[in-house]
Amino acid sequence: MTEFATYQTQGEIAIISMDKPPINGLGAALREGIGSGLNKAFSDPSIQAVVLIGTPRAFSGGADITEFGTPKATHEPTLRTIIETMEASPKPIVAAISGFCLGGGLEFALGCHFRVALPDATLGLPEVKLGILPGGGGTQRLPRLLGFEKAVEMIVGGLHIPAIKFKDTLLLDQIVEGDLLQAAIAFARKVVAQGEPLKRVRDRTVPDIPTDAVLAEKRKAVVAAAKRFPAPVSCFDSVCASFKSATFDAGLLEERRLITELFKSPESLALRYTFAAERAAAKIPGLPEDIALRTIKKVGVIGAGTMGGGITMNFISAGLPVVLLETKQEALDKGLATIGKNYETSMKKGKLTQAQYDACMALITPTLSYQDFGDVDLIIEAVFENMDVKEQVFKTLDGIAKPGAILASNTSALNIDEIAAFTKRPQDVLGLHFFSPANVMRLLEVVRGAKTAPDVLATCMTLARKIKKIAVVSGVCDGFIGNRMLAQYRTAANELMHQGAMPQQIDGALQAFGLVMGPFRMADLAGLDIGWAGRKRRAAASPTPVAPIVADWICEAGRYGQKTGAGWYRYEAGKRDPIPDPIVEEMIAKYRQEHGIKSRKIEDSEIIERCMFALVNEGARILEERIAARASDIDIVYLNGYGFPAHVGGPMHYANAVGLPKVVQRLKDFAAEPGADPNWQPAPLLVRLVERGVGFN
């Protein structure tokens, strides 16, 4: 029929099979194939029923998001047209559901007269996560089958639910085991034989219409939980239209009105951008998609400290054995105990069973000897951030690791090429920069050295998915993508503080903007000594003397953040709430006095501009130097590693939304101030993009 949909018959049953990798996205080509299959079945008098089936991986993962906003999205037959055609069909249509059945995929199944599913198929209408709502009738049909309460829970929450949970509901007519296609055909034959009336969801009524008072209460809760996002509220309102509207078609019109509004919202634009950006980050320019990967069956981790422990957890949680090496038994025991405690917390929360805990812990081989690394496929170093220590580790590894083993460093900022040069196999060396806490944070910067082999890079990108990380490739530079930009952001925050804002005002402004944590709270959490070490390293390398700043004084006073009970804020024992501290305010006042700075009142809007545009400007330099392949890769780093708000979509997307001419103008304003940091000069790439009248793409 077409490339993605095939048409076959088994006696009086027509079978339309969808096979568009990876998950049967309902793009124009697949829709066309389904449409022509349906026409064929309708026009063949020998056909009495139709079965629609996908692949084991997916019935359908939903609309093809890359078509959003393009002419292809409205190319006939649209999803709505197909659903209407199926629902109106005089011949029964059975959806045979396996794997993902999400979004438009589930709406599509709801247009069928009957649905049979494998118990482990995953059903859901997750559109809310893209800042929109199910616009193919999902908000009208689902409540008619599951009731208002359940539909709201599923649509507003964007939940993915296993099919087995819908046993004995009207959503699924049958849960089947084994051969799905044969079961669906048998079901279709039974329907035909028994002359069962066709079940059109649109003809049903919502079974549990709530009172106005209940409705008002529930809406209030949704509004409160949604915070600034409009989508959950519109999802709720659209579900309500399923029983408030005079007719089913009027409800559909209301659904369409609401989704049209949502499509225009900046939040939805940012969320859809992020969705596409995540997928783009996995593609490495110049790397063949079918490149042969190295086999990773066993992993080694060096250093069982903060990062080594978390890194180990990622692999054992994914079922990969880890050899964990330390220099002293005491450090090894401490590291293992921390891993154990972390898993115990998960057990207490009911996220892990005792058996899973035991299985994970059994996958660790603790050791004090490099000899145990002989058969390991990937070794990740997470020792102190000191080039001499790294040199000793990599030289030892070079002598012991098997040929072809991948050697990785978790360094936050050190030069990967220099580290690779400690070995005779620089092609096998790269950076795997996890973020703290490494077992929680989703971001992984994969640092490609000048000599890193393509298959090493590709293997690590694939491995990242296995351990549930979002990987972004970075080139080699001080701090890679994330920390290099962060240094400029922190400089901007420090400047604001020196000039008149207190840490709590700066943090408050950025948190109101949407960041999980402002820069001072984040520094207190990460440990101020890390940034201090970096500043000292850069100061030592600077040709001109670098004067200490308040951040240095704080560290000199032994205030390293939460871990020492005080940093930019003070902390009460066992608590993490930041309490503004007069000692810090005194230090800031002293700094202003010593530098002849007259404190000025700073608006929150200026705080946002300076901190954000500092990030954008450095991001543009990173792009120009090809440290990052795409602006969207930078955004993925910030969204997943630095608590950047999803509805803003990352700093580069934010810059596009604000408009690059404004960004450049403000940077020029800041650069023109007396004594301004030269880094405020707009990056040449930014200036060129403005001249060409385009944004980051």
Show which residues are catalytic.
Answer: 107, 127
8-state DSSP, 62: B
Q: What is the DSSP string of 383-447?
A: --S-HHHHHHHHHHHHHHSPTT-EEEE--SSS-HHHHHTTSS-GGGEEEEEE-SSTTT--EEEEE
Contact call for residues 107 and 141 (beta carbons, < 8 A): yes
Instruction: Specify the residue, 163 or 408, whose C-beta has the smaller distance to ligand NAD.
Output: 408
- Residue 531 touches ligand NAD, criterion: CB under 6 A: no
* CA angle 106–111–113, rounded 5-degree value: 115
CB of 520 to ligand NAD, least distance (A): 16
One of 393, 506, 523, 602 touching ligand NAD (CB under 6 A): 393
- Residue 333 touches ligand NAD, criterion: CB under 6 A: no
610 vs 666: CA distance, rounded Å: 8
- Residue 567 touches ligand NAD, criterion: CB under 6 A: no
Find the length of the chain: 697
CB of 384 to ligand NAD, least distance (A): 5
Nearest Cα to 610, choosing from 495, 512, 522, 502? Answer: 495
Q: Which two tokens stand for residue 93?
A: 């249509």
Instruction: Specify the residue, 222 or 530, whose C-beta has the smaller distance to ligand NAD.
Output: 530
CB of 338 to ligand NAD, least distance (A): 10
| Strand, coil or helix: 430 | strand
Residue of this chain nearest to ligand NAD (CB atom): 305
276 vs 266: CA distance, rounded Å: 15
One of 118, 252, 277, 383 touching ligand NAD (CB under 6 A): 383
Q: For residue 372, what are the contacts with CB-CB under 8 A and spacing of at least 6?
A: 300, 323, 325, 365
Specify the stretch interacting with ligand NAD by CB under 6 A; choose among 102-110, 217-225, 301-309, 507-515: 301-309
Instruction: Specify the residue, 26 or 302, whose C-beta has the smaller distance to ligand NAD.
Output: 302
78 vs 136: CA distance, rounded Å: 9
- Residue 305 touches ligand NAD, criterion: CB under 6 A: yes
667's enclosing H/E stretch is helix 660-671
The binding track of 181-220 with respect to ligand NAD, each residue x by CB under 6 A or -, is ----------------------------------------
219 vs 225: CA distance, rounded Å: 10
Instruction: Specify the residue, 251 or 567, whose C-beta has the smaller distance to ligand NAD.
Output: 567
Sheet strands side by side (includes 49-53): 5-10, 13-18, 49-53, 93-97, 114-117, 174-175
Instruction: Specify the residue, 21 or 399, whose C-beta has the smaller distance to ligand NAD.
Output: 399
Instruction: Specify the residue, 107 or 385, whose C-beta has the smaller distance to ligand NAD.
Output: 385
* CA angle 505–510–514, rounded 5-degree value: 140
- Residue 382 touches ligand NAD, criterion: CB under 6 A: yes
Q: Which residue has the tokens 């000191």?
A: 386
One of 23, 184, 201, 302 touching ligand NAD (CB under 6 A): 302
Specify the stretch interacting with ligand NAD by CB under 6 A; choose among 383-391, 549-557, 623-631, 679-687: 383-391
The binding track of 405-444 with respect to ligand NAD, each residue x by CB under 6 A or -, is -----xxx---------------------xxx--------
CB of 387 to ligand NAD, least distance (A): 10
Binding site for ligand NAD (CB under 6 A): 302-308, 325-327, 331, 382-385, 389, 393, 410-412, 434-436, 526
